[in-house]
């Protein structure tokens, strides 16, 4: 930690207010403003554009360089050489597992893939056309009702088994959401398969025949989970941390993260990208939509472009772009018109002054939706896939917070409402 100081002078307050400047291992230094309250002042930063809400060792993003590190390892290397469950282990424990540790971890996760049979009844309560994210918010929060024996958040063993249960059961629940919408029977996990292959088996298999999953598609699915695993203090992870700071159980916290992720400005963007590409419909209409995206009076934004932190290419979208051709080839959809529109849209946007000046590059959601569509995943399941992958990051951040000293999150405000006034009786209004 540096012994640097920041001095703040405020009209009407005698003398300068001295505040510590803290430095991490990477990234900008931070000014510790906690003593401002004692001076009768708050900071004001809607959207937390320049606010560090916590200290963390899990993930680092350099938006200018388009760099994403998980416990120091570049996302490109993890996507190339690791797999999703190994990345889950890394995010949670801070180091890559040895071969023995990895086998034990994978076996542990696979031993938790089933859900309590009573959860089947929960799905019977949803309409056939319920949005899968609505179902996921409900059933993930409801998991807490099955594990009363391990909800003591101050017990490291309870935190660990909850993390294992959540990572293991998210694919099972996600597949159940999909099966509910098709009217097909739920598929039990087949633990002889890898994590991602098991998910595709539960999604697309049926009890009448054995399902053969193309290894290329299973690998692509695993990379999609891996690329979505964590992304420092994004909106949904910050929601999980805030919920967790009240002492809520991990299932409730992850359910709050799912709810936050659903928004089209966040994890809902992959679904919105596909809807946008389908609305564009033809390459000849791309200019019309780019024009709308630049029009201040038009709320339309080019979904899949822009990012709060990345002012360069999102490294995850580069990896996605790379696997596109392989997956399309394996699924025989290499000439998919939406992919052609996406590629053309990307080219036009990256050459347009508006997008260049505002540094709006394709983000993780731009290509992930196209790949998931090629795999045969319905559009309304895209954010569920995102939530499944991001569960690793959410639970790692939750665990990091709870296993260190923390305070309940309680932001303040700039109040601009009425000053005190007396109640006006009804007969005088
Ligand atoms: C994810 O935080 C994370 O890490 C998120 C995520 C993760 O892994 O958790 O990376 C996942 O959420 C990726 C983002 C997915 N969302 C989208 O693709 C939706 C489209 N993008 C925009 O809504 C927007 O870019 C955001 C929400 C992603 C970022 O918004 P910011 O940081 O608040 O940026 P901004 O709104 O301040 O935009 C800066 C300028 C604005 O113009 P001016 O007011 O300066 O004139 O850029 C414009 C915006 O109008 N702009 C866009 C645009 N994105 C920003 N204009 C057109 N199309 C867009 N997509």
Kindly tell me if the per-residue pLDDT of 130 is higher than 70.
Answer: yes
Which pLDDT score, from 0 to 100, does residue 350 have?
Answer: 85
pLDDT at 1: 54
Task: Write down the catalytic residue from 83, 314, 365, 380.
Answer: 365
**Reported confidence tier of residue 97, pLDDT bands at 50, 70, 90:** very high
CB 75 within 8 A of CB 69: yes
pLDDT of residue 15: 92
| C-alpha 358 – ligand 1 centre gap (Å) | 10
Looking at residue 312, its pLDDT comes to: 85
Q: Distances in Å between the alpha carbon of 343 and those of 76, 224, 308?
A: 21, 19, 23
DSSP 82: -
Q: Is the pLDDT of residue 404 over 70?
A: yes
Find residue 305's DSSP bridge partners: 362
> Among 4-18, 142-156, 319-333, where is mean pLDDT lowest?
319-333
Listed range (44-48, 56-60, 123-127, 358-362) with the worst mean pLDDT: 358-362
Give the N- to C-terminal CA distance of the chain in Å, as an integer. 60
Distance between CA atoms of residues 402 and 159, nearest Å? 9
Q: Is the dihedral of CA 312, 317, 323, 327 positive or negative?
A: negative
Confidence band, pLDDT 50/70/90 cuts, at residue 333: confident
Q: Is the pLDDT of residue 2 over 80?
A: no
Q: SS3 for 68? A: strand
pLDDT exceeds 90 at position 329: no
- Please report the pLDDT score of residue 336 as a whole number: 84
Query: Residue of the nearest CA to atom 37 in ligand 1?
Result: 308
Q: What does the pLDDT look like over 147-182, one tens digit per residue?
A: 988 999 999 999 999 999 999 999 999 999 999 999
pTM of the full structure:
0.94
pLDDT value for 190? 97
Question: In the predicted model, what is the mean pLDDT of residues 112-128?
Answer: 96
Predicted confidence at residue 158, as pLDDT, reads 98
Nearest protein Cα to ligand 1, atom 54 = 306
- Out of 164, 180, 201, 307, the active site residue is 307
What CA–CA distance (Å, rounded) separates 234 from 387? 13
Q: Answer whether 315 contacts ligand 1 (Cβ < 6 A).
A: no
Q: How confident is the model at residue 53 (pLDDT cuts 50, 70, 90)?
A: very high
């Amino acid at each position: 930690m540096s012994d640097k100081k920041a001095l703040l002078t405020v009209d009407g307050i005698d003398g300068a207010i001295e505040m510590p400047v803290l430095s991490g291992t990477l990234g900008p230094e931070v000014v510790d403003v906690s003593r401002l309250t004692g001076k009768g002042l708050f900071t004001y930063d809607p959207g937390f554009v320049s606010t560090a809400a916590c200290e963390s060792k899990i993930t680092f993003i350099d938006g200018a360089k388009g760099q994403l590190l998980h416990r120091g390892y570049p996302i490109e290397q993890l996507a190339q050489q690791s797999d999703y469950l190994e990345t889950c282990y890394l995010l949670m424990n801070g180091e890559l597992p040895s071969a023995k540790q990895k086998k034990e971890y994978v076996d542990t996760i696979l031993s938790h893939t089933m859900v309590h049979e009573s959860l089947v009844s929960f799905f019977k309560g949803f309409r056939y056309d319920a949005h899968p994210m609505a179902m996921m918010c409900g059933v993930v929060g409801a998991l807490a009702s099955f594990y009363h024996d391990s909800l003591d958040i101050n017990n490291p063993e309870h935190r660990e088994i909850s993390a294992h249960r959540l990572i293991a059961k998210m694919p099972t629940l996600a597949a159940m959401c999909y099966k509910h919408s098709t009217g097909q029977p739920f598929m039990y996990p087949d633990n002889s398969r890898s994590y991602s292959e098991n998910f595709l088996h539960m999604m697309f298999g049926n009890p009448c025949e054995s399902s053969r999953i193309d290894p290329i598609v299973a690998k692509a699915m695993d990379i999609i989970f891996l690329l979505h695993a964590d992304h420092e203090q994004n909106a949904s992870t910050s929601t999980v941390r805030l919920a967790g700071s009240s002492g809520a159980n991990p299932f409730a916290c992850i359910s709050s993260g799912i709810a936050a992720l659903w928004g089209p400005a966040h994890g809902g963007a992959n679904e919105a990208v596909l809807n946008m590409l389908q609305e564009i419909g033809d390459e000849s209409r791309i200019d019309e939509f780019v024009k709308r995206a630049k029009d201040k009076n038009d709320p339309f934004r080019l979904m899949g472009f822009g990012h709060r932190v990345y002012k360069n290419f999102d490294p995850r979208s580069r990896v996605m772009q790379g696997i596109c051709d392989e997956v399309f080839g394996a699924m025989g959809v290499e000439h998919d018109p939406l992919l052609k529109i996406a590629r053309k849209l990307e080219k036009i946007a990256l050459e347009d002054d508006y997008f260049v000046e505002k540094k709006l590059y394709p983000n993780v959601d731009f290509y992930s939706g196209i790949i998931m569509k090629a795999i045969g995943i319905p559009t309304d399941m895209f954010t569920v896939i995102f939530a499944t992958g991001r569960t690793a990051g959410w639970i790692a951040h939750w665990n990091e917070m709870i296993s260190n000293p923390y305070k309940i999150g309680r932001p303040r405000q700039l109040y601009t409402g009425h000053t005190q006034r007396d109640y006006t009786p009804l007969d005088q209004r």
